[in-house]
Amino acid sequence: MLVKTDQPGYLKDTSTGAIINNDDEAYRRFQAAREASKKNNDLCKRIDAVEGDLKDIKNLLLQIVHRNN
């Protein structure tokens, strides 16, 4: 059986003692924030990869310039 707690948005399961969050909107906000964070991390990884590629290209161009001098 679930009973209300002093904190709004939470219920307590009397058989297990577990506290359950039943605030659906807060959970949706949490999921959206987690997804945004995941996308941000993915973008940072992609930017780091592009920076590494540009560094490699720069080094190759410098090698070509030094060989021709």
pLDDT digits over 2-53, tens only? 999 998 889 999 999 999 999 999 999 999 999 999 999 999 999 999 999 9
Question: What is the model's pTM?
Answer: 0.63
CA distances from 14 to 1, 2, 44 (A): 6, 6, 45
Q: Looking at residues 52-63, what average pLDDT do you find?
A: 98
CA distance 59 to 69: 16
Domain ranges of the chain: 2-68
CB atoms closer than 10 angstroms to residue 10: 14
CA distance 49 to 1: 52
Q: What local confidence, expressed as pLDDT, does residue 69 receive? A: 78
Q: What local confidence, expressed as pLDDT, does residue 45 receive? A: 98
Q: What local confidence, expressed as pLDDT, does residue 12 receive? A: 94
